[in-house]
Amino acid sequence: MTEVFQSIQALTQFSTAELEQVLQRFESRTIKKKTTLLEAGKTAREVYFIIQGCMRLYYEKDGQDISAYFFTEKMFAGAYDSFISQQPSRHSIEILEDCEVLVINYTNLQALFVEFPKMNEFVRKVLEERFISLHQLFTAQILDSPEERYLNLLKDRPDLLSRIPQHQIATYLGVTPVSLSRIRNRVAKR
């Protein structure tokens, strides 16, 4: 729980008593590898704080899945657009590694907004971090070469390269697995 306290306190200054009350609204859960948390077309009812493990958010198009984001330890994970709007999601979320998570459902989060106005600030900051991250990914897809995207991933999130299958990393970078292999070989030779 110390990790959770620190992660929340880094964004919003709850008192210890407030934070304990907030965390009572979360449920601790273990989720097995290969579990689908959310299927495209379904509405997200929960958001997850990852204590241990890895999740993947992806889209399906023309029978192929395209990785859009990877969530790992100390991150809030979920289909935020669907969760906030309570509308069906266009993407899916799967568990890539066994996960230990804290889960909050939509109803409990709405209650926390009323009970603790600081929750509004906290959730805003979590969403701002996610927005910045997604904006950087979007900009990289437009402005950076595939090799530059790979080098940025190597610099910013090197742990993903040993945790995620190569074909999923390839779709995340917007390349084929063969192209990713060539990029990795070029980078390794330098």
pLDDT digits (tens, 9 = 90+) for 37-46: 999 999 999 9
33 against 189, higher pLDDT: 33
125 against 87, higher pLDDT: 87
* Average predicted confidence (pLDDT) for the chain: 92
Residues 53 and 67: their CA atoms lie apart, in Å, by 17
Residues in contact with 93: Cβ distance below 8 Å, sequence separation at least 6, in sequence order: 36, 37, 38, 55, 56, 57, 58, 77, 78, 79
Q: Nearest-CA neighbor of 55 among 76, 25, 85?
A: 76
pLDDT at 177 over 90: yes
- Reported as a single tens digit per residue, the pLDDT across 8-24 is 777 788 888 888 888 89
Q: Which residue has the tokens 């390269």?
A: 161
Does the pTM exceed 0.85?
yes
Domain spans of the chain?
2-117
Summarize the confidence of residues 91-97 as an average pLDDT.
Answer: 97
Residues 91-114: b if buried by 16+ CB within 10 A, e if exposed: bbbbbbbebebbbbbeebbeebee
Q: The domain at 2-117 falls in which architecture?
A: Sandwich (2.60)
pLDDT at 50 over 90: yes
Instruction: State the Rg of the chain over Cα.
Output: 18
